[in-house]
Amino acid sequence: MSVLNQSFMQGFIRMCTDGYAAGWHERNGGNASYRIKPEEIAAIAPQLNTSGAWLPIHASVPNLAGEFFLFTGTGKFFRNVELKPESCLGILEVDATGEQYRVIWGFADGGGPTCELPTHLLNHQVKKLATDGKFRVVYHGHPVNIIALTFVLPLDAQVFSHELWQMMTECPIIFPAGVGVVPWMLPGKPDVGIATSKLMETYDAAVWAHHGIFCTGEDFDTTYGLLHVIEKAAAIKVATMSMAGEHKRQTITREDFLSVAREFGLTLNEDFLR
Ligand code: 13P
Ligand code: ZN
């Protein structure tokens, strides 16, 4: 079966297409990656080209040595992924040291993986360790409302987590750890990757001030769904602030959150309930 017909490829393409339709990927905005399972790589092995040059990752990911990833390309538009997956997407192999990668499929028109390669791989490394290998997806988008909030709320995980949880009853069930917040930093550099992956030890999502958000998860549905839920909660926050600023006539209380936690067996960060 061709690379393009594999179900991981189809799931990845669908996530890109849906993200574009949701408005999170203007022009080449956003990027995505998937850590490919050994049996999925084995199924396409004859179609891979391992003659390409090893290139520096500009980050150290020894825990990902020998792993394979599907990535969006730098400068590629999400709206084109479904039409031209073999030029917008590529498969990478990480070397035995975790310092280098090579392209073994895709990027047919040239180019390479997203400029956020260091952040993606550092996040994968942290999540692979933290979830015993379960998490395989890292997804970055530029959703309007979450970015808007980074201009008016303090850039603080407590405030963002508390406010987003309060906007929809299901939020603490979907992201019980809350969300991390990265201050404004230069994109596409190892430093922002190090800062983000540090937060991923605690959270599954990290807001990037005045830029966007990174989400991680087990599969395409849960990772896409996490971004969707956070952005919807942010939209409700923007709507309530547009109507009444910081004033809330009523809201979900600390006791309400505690009863949700009891009912769903969640451990909520107590600091974020205040
Ligand atoms: P790429 O086109 O390199 O993926 O960059 C887009 C982006 O969102 C950078 O943060
Ligand atoms: Zn971006």
Q: How far apart are CA 48 and CA 147, in angstroms?
A: 38
Span 232-239, mean pLDDT?
98
Q: Is 161 in the pocket of ligand 1 (CB under 6 A)?
A: no
Is the per-residue pLDDT at 263 higher than 90?
A: yes
Q: 116: Cβ below 6 Å to ligand 1?
A: yes
Q: Which atom of ligand 1 is nearest to the CA of 28?
A: 2
C-alpha count within 13 angstroms, C-beta hemisphere, residue 170: 8
Percent of the chain at pLDDT above 70? Answer: 100
Report, as an integer, the average pLDDT of 85-107. Answer: 98
Atom from ligand 1 closest to the CA of residue 73 = 4
Instruction: Choose one of 71, 87, 116, 182 to mutate for the ligand 1 pocket test, by most ligand atoms within 8 angstroms of C-beta.
Output: 116
Calculate mean pLDDT across residues 13-41: 98
For residues 89 and 82, what is the distance between their CA atoms, to the nearest angstrom? Answer: 10
Widest pairwise Cα distance in the chain: 64
Chain-wide mean pLDDT for the chain? 98
**Which DSSP symbol is given to 84?**
-
Which active-site residues does the annotation give? 116
How many CB atoms are located within 10 Å of the residue 145 CB?
Answer: 16
pLDDT tens digits for 129-182? 999 999 999 999 999 999 999 999 999 999 999 999 999 999 999 999 999 999
Query: Ligand 1, from 89, 115, 119, 121: best to mutate by most atoms within 8 Å of Cβ?
Result: 115
Backbone angles phi and psi of 112, in degrees to 5: -160, -165
**How many angstroms does the Cα of residue 122 sit away from the middle of ligand 1?**
16
Question: Ligand 1 within 6 A of 60 CB?
Answer: no
Nearest to 237 by CA among 136, 159, 132: 159
Evaluate if residue 274 carries a pLDDT over 90.
no
- Ligand 1: centre distance to CA 153 (Å): 25
pLDDT of residue 149: 98
Separation CA 24–CA 234 (nearest Å): 13
Q: How far is the CA of 119 from the centre of ligand 2 (A)?
A: 11
Integer CA distances (angstroms), 2 to 7, 34, 35, 86, in order: 11, 18, 18, 11
C-alpha 142 – ligand 2 centre gap (Å): 6
Single-letter code of the amino acid located at 76? K
Per-residue CA distances from 69 to 12, 96, 178, 271 (Å): 11, 14, 27, 36
Q: Give the pLDDT of residue 106.
A: 98
Q: Is the CB of 185 under 6 A from ligand 1?
A: no
User: Which residues lie at CB < 5 A from ion ligand 2?
Assistant: 212
Helix (H) / strand (E) element for 252: namely: none
| Full-model pTM | 0.98
Integer Cα distance of 58 and 60 in angstroms: 7
Instruction: Return the closest-CA partner of residue 13 out of 39, 32, 27.
Output: 32
- Could you read off the pLDDT of 182-218 as tens digits, one per residue? 999 999 999 999 999 999 999 999 999 999 999 999 9
- Ligand 1 midpoint to CA 78 (Å): 11
